[in-house]
C-alpha cells in the first residue's frame, strides 16, 4: 500500500506512530499539560513528514525526537516562541531538533548519545533550543558532529 501523507487515511504503521507519540505524551510531565490541539500541532506535522525518531525497547515506545527543516523566517519566529505552520516544518535547510520526549529516568542521556553519533540525524549540523516555561528561548545550541572535540556552540544563554 502506498504511504499516504493525508492524515485522514493513515497506514497501519502511521497509526502505530500516532499511538506511540500519544503513549509517550501521556507519560511526560511537560506534554500531558498540553491541550489536544497543541499536541496535534506539535506532533502531526513531523509524523506526516517523517521527521521523527521513536526509541522502542522490546517493542514499547520509551522516547521520541522530532525535527524540522526551517527557513530563516521560520527559524526567527521559532526563536521568538511562535508556533509553526505545517509548511514551516519543511521550509528551508536549517535543521532543528524541535521536541524530545523522554519520560523515563535516564533515557534522555541515551537519546542524546544517539543524536551525537554521526549518521543518525539527517544532517551532521543542527540546532536546538532550551526553553524557560513553555516558549521563552533560554539558549540556542548549534551542533556540528564533524567538528571533533568541540561539537557544540552555545549561542545564547
User: Of 93, 99, 134, 136, which is the active-site residue?
Assistant: 99
**Phi and psi of 47, rounded to 5°?**
-65, -50
Whole-number average pLDDT of the chain = 89
The answer to whether 99 is a known catalytic residue is yes
Q: Is the pTM of this model over 0.75?
A: yes
Give the tens place of pLDDT for each residue, 70-129: 999 999 999 988 888 999 999 999 999 999 999 999 999 999 999 999 999 999 999 999
Residue 30 appears among annotated catalytic residues: no
Active-site residue among 31, 73, 93, 134?
Answer: 31
Amino acid at each position: 500500500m502506498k504511504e499516504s501523507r493525508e492524515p485522514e487515511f493513515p497506514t497501519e504503521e502511521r497509526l502505530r506512530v500516532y499511538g506511540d507519540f500519544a503513549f509517550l505524551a501521556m507519560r511526560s510531565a511537560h506534554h500531558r499539560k498540553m491541550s489536544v490541539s497543541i499536541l496535534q500541532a506539535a506532533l502531526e506535522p513531523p509524523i506526516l513528514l517523517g521527521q521523527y525518531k521513536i526509541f522502542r525497547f522490546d517493542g514499547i515506545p520509551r522516547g521520541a525526537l522530532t525535527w524540522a527543516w526551517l527557513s530563516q523566517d521560520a527559524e526567527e519566529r521559532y526563536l521568538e516562541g511562535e508556533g509553526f505552520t505545517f509548511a514551516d516544518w519543511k521550509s528551508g535547510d536549517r535543521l532543528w531538533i524541535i521536541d524530545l520526549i523522554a519520560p523515563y529516568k535516564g533515557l534522555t542521556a541515551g537519546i542524546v548519545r544517539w543524536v551525537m553519533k554521526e549518521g543518525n540525524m539527517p544532517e551532521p549540523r543542527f540546532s536546538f533550543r532550551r526553553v524557560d516555561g513553555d516558549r521563552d528561548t533560554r539558549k540556542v545550541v548549534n551542533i556540528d558532529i564533524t567538528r571533533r572535540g568541540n561539537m557544540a556552540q552555545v549561542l545564547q544563554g
